[in-house]
Structure 1
Amino acid sequence: MTTTIDSFAGEDILSVNQFDRASLDAIFGIAHEMRVLVERFGGAEMLQGKILANLFYEPSTRTSSSFTAAMQRLGGQVIPINNVQYSSVSKGESLPDTIRTLESYADVIVIRHPEVGAAATAAYYAEKPVINAGDGVGEHPTQALLDLFTVQEELEKIGGLTVVMVGDLRYGRTVHSLTKLLLNYNVSFVFVSPDILRLPADVLDAVQTSGHSYRQVDDLHSVIGEADVLYMTRVQRERFTDLAEYDRVKDFFVADKELMAQAKEKMIIMHPLPRVGEISYALDDDPRAAYFRQMRNGMYIRMALLAALLGKA
């Protein structure tokens, strides 16, 4: 488990299980400094001469773009491979060979892949640091880090909060990673979903084993008044083999003005984005709507991680 900033240098970021309170505090401290740096000066040159390879086997807007922006704001450059069908992967090249090729040119590799464990496979074959940007329904550690950083920045604390997670808890890797990361803090959970989208057993077992308070319900209106953090997620069409089942649950929960009238004045609404109807656009001007600030925090967290992995934090 990584516990100091110096110990991040040269390491891979594959799972939230790598982080404890000390390492989270360290990364969040650097991310806050990166935020101040960008707001005052636009960036720095601490990663000048360094190159990041962005290898995305699945579509991405925010994660891919924010890693690119993070590297460039720190003076580095990026090799973007966001459509693998136009690379040698389309010719049948294996993941190990693709990784070994890219690390010949780059100092750090970011990978998103539809298969659980693909990032760990990439890290096994790579000598350069590898960052997991999402492996199927597995984990998305940098999203969880930026989510937790957003809670800290918005509410100025994490401990003692009630976190209400809503929507696709079965396939949502952002939910899986954030839940595990939150186990480092004294928080209470409310998991809101239809039966077929309940939290996976392994994640729920981790919550139970940790002794954290939790409930599973299917009525968001009954618990919205308790929420300090409302974490909405979309139902992921691409994870369903039965589209009739998807159509049945896709609009199960919607956050709108009527719902938020029952919520606390001091709380936040979060979403890993993209949204497809589960948060009304009418809420975008609500000061509690943190999802676009959350998105920007992704750049600061990824700046902090890149600097740390490359020994420049």
Structure 2
Amino acid sequence: MKAKSLVNISDYGKEDILRILKAATAFKANPNRDLLQGKVCATLFFEPSTRTRLSFETAVNRLRGRIVGFSDAATSSSTKGESLKDTIMMVGNYADLIIMRHHLEGSARYASEVSPVPIINAGDGSNQHPTQTLLDLFTIYETQGTMENLTITIVGDLKYGRA
């Protein structure tokens, strides 16, 4: 069975999300595990990122995986006209997982359709950032102890804000 990509938070049901949040609680208590031992994770950041990229790289390292990839699209063959499909398929031959941030909305969904390995969407323009959503939900879950019957107010630039 092919492992599932994380492209859009709405691809996951409530029980899936709660299972992820409970796993995150266990990882927070014991972050250094060998779960990615022998695995290669590719980080493809076609647009700038500091917090998201470093958090993924830190997590992969703590789980004993290896990281390949780029943090500047100018260093990739996309500057020579290589298509996103070709990049994803080629990187999928080297990696067991691709973590991708791209400026084009829908690029993560497309990548998940052509990739031989799972894709984690680390942001695709102003469209989706499911890992940020999971982080926000984890913070609520951790501080409130529940996800039920809460009133939540969100303030700021919800479309492009990163802080």
TM-score (norm 2): 0.94
- TM superposition shift of 1:37: 0.7
Find the structure with the greater CA-based Rg.
1
Query: Which residue of the partner structure matches residue 17 of structure 1?
Result: 10
Counterpart of 2:17, as a letter, is L
Residue equivalent to 2:59:
70
Whole-angstrom distance in 2 between the partners of 1:60 and 1:37: 26
Superposed counterparts of 1:26-37, under 5 Å: 26-37=19-30
1:126 equivalent to 2:119? Answer: no
Task: Give 2:79's aligned amino acid.
Answer: S
1:56 is the counterpart of 2:49: no
What SS does the aligned partner of 1:163 have? coil
What amino acid maps onto 1:21 in structure 2? K
Aligned letter for 2:145?
E
Aligned partner of 2:76 in structure 1 is 87
Alignment map for 1:143-292 (pairs within 5 Å): 143-169=132-158, 171-172=159-160, 234=161, 272-273=162-163
Q: Structure with the greater relative contact order (CA < 8 A, sep ≥ 6): 1 or 2?
A: 2
Query: Aligned with 1:164: secondary structure?
Result: coil
Contact 2:93–2:116 (CA under 8 A) maintained in structure 1: no
Identify which of 99, 122, 141 aligns with 1:110: 99
Q: Distance in 1 between matches of 2:45 and 2:104?
A: 12
SS of match in other structure, 2:116: coil
Q: Secondary structure at the match of 1:55?
A: strand
Aligned residues: 163
User: What are the ranges of 5 or more consecutive residues in structure 2 without an aligned counterpart?
Assistant: none
Provide the rounded CA distance (Å) in 2 between the counterparts of 1:125 and 1:19.
20
One-letter amino acid matched to 2:106: G
Counterpart in the other structure of 1:289? none
Q: Distance in 2 between matches of 1:134 and 1:34?
A: 23
RMSD of aligned C-alpha atoms?
1.4
Question: 2:143 is aligned with what amino acid?
Answer: E
What SS is found at the alignment partner of 1:78? Answer: strand
What's 2:33 paired with? 44
> Aligned to 1:93, what secondary structure does the other structure show?
coil
Stretches (4+) displaced over 6 A: none
Percentage identity across paired residues of the two chains: 39
Counterpart CA distance in 2 for 1:101 and 1:80 is 12
How big is the shift at 1:158? 2.4
| SS in structure 2 at match of 1:59 | coil
SS of the residue corresponding to residue 157 of structure 2 reads: coil
SS at match of 1:166: coil
Code of the aligned partner of 1:22? E
Letter in 2 for 1:36: A
SS of residue paired to 2:154: strand
Give the TM-score taking structure 1 as reference length.
0.50
The secondary structure found in structure 2 opposite 1:149 is helix
